[in-house]
Amino acid sequence: MIALPAVTGPLCGFLVIDKPAGCTSHDCVSKARRALGTRKVGHGGTLDPAVTGVLPLAVGPATRLLPYLDGGKEYLGTIQLGLRTNSDDLSGEVLEQQDWPSLSQAELDRQLQPFRGLIQQRPPAVSAVHVDGERAHTRARRGEQLLLASRAVTIEQLDLMRWDPSTGQLDIKLRCSAGTYVRSLARDLGDQLGCGGALAQLRRTAALGFTLEASLPLEALGPETALSNPLTALAHLPQQRLSEEQWLAWTRGQRLPLEGPEQPEESALVMLRPDGSLAGMARTRSDGLLQPKLVFDAAG
């Protein structure tokens, strides 16, 4: 069990940055730390420097809540066919160029069908995946030849928005699980068509339950920037409100009975104080009890 400080101060919550191109996710975290006057800032999901869009930031004790947020993400992207690079996007070294096939929009949409649903996907060699304790991109930039293992990801939605046969570019809209690489999708579509493919442009429109509509430009951050209530970000999870007696037991890390609808074992629950504010997070056990995992206002 991890004990956390009380969520009563102003610096506990989430904010969403509309990340510009040319900066890293860590650059955004550093600017937020300076603007808000706190070191305790973390981001929810790395964006490559060239990628723009939704970058959720957690501030204060809310950093411990990141694993409990909705991991789904949404993107708008442009793929360039007829090109292979060592990074699977236009920032990398060009390995091969060739003509793309002549396809109608309907034919190209059918070519996207194998990438819809649960699929096996190999991450790009230039990625943040760990290989023997080191980031893959670090090893790749040393000149090592990497072929990373495929892993299961889910692409819930993949729509072909535009196809330009004269330039070999297609625009896509997708909703996918955490761990999905749109660069890999571009590469694999190009391989399937026999001409190669690379990601030309990408914008994340939603992540961890946050959307562009709730985002701020990076330059707008300041000491008075308002943070969203952590409960808003946890709205997709079931909740249980504690009585006064239960709350005292909760602060001591004691297990409590599950009330309300039955939940699968190891399900996450949002625990509320008697006044309805966030008390922490628990997980269900096979014996019907709740095991405290994150406790605000921990006693002792």
Contacts for 39 with CB less than 8 Å, ≥ 6 apart: 33
Residue type, 80: Q
CATH code, 192: 3.30.2350.10
d(CA 32, CA 85): 34
Record the pTM: 0.88
The two structure tokens encoding residue 81: 């066919």
Indicate if 178 and 273 belong to the same structural domain. no
Indicate if 199 and 121 belong to the same structural domain. yes
* pLDDT score at 132: 46
Indicate if 77 and 199 belong to the same structural domain. yes
Contact 204, 54 (CB under 8 A): yes
Contact 181, 199 (CB under 8 A): no
One digit per residue, pLDDT tens: the chain, 300 residues? Answer: 655 544 545 588 999 999 999 999 999 999 999 999 999 999 988 898 999 999 999 999 999 999 999 989 999 999 999 999 999 999 999 999 999 999 999 999 999 999 999 999 999 876 555 444 554 445 445 455 566 789 999 999 999 999 999 999 999 999 999 989 999 999 999 999 999 999 999 999 999 999 999 999 999 999 989 999 999 999 999 999 999 999 999 999 999 999 988 899 999 999 999 999 999 999 999 998 999 999 988 775
CATH code, 283: 2.30.130.10
Query: What kind and span of H or E run contains 149?
Result: none
Indicate if 78 and 184 belong to the same structural domain. yes
Residue 47's φ and ψ, nearest 5 degrees, are -110, 135
Last residue of one domain, picked from the residues 232, 248, 283:
232
Q: What number of residues does the chain have?
A: 300
Q: How many domains does the chain have?
A: 3
For 122, 140, 148, the CA distances from 174, given in Å and listed in that order, are 18, 28, 23
Indicate if 216 and 254 belong to the same structural domain. no
d(CA 67, CA 208): 10
Indicate if 119 and 201 belong to the same structural domain. yes
Residue 6's φ and ψ, nearest 5 degrees, are -60, 150
**Structural domain that includes position 10:** 2-69+208-232
Indicate if 215 and 241 belong to the same structural domain. no
Indicate if 65 and 168 belong to the same structural domain. no
* pLDDT score at 96: 96
Indicate if 186 and 250 belong to the same structural domain. no
* pLDDT score at 106: 98
Indicate if 110 and 172 belong to the same structural domain. yes
* pLDDT score at 273: 95
Indicate if 105 and 192 belong to the same structural domain. yes
The yes-or-no answer on residue 48 being catalytic is yes
Indicate if 95 and 196 belong to the same structural domain. yes
Catalytic annotation, pick one of 18, 48, 88, 89: 48
* pLDDT score at 149: 84
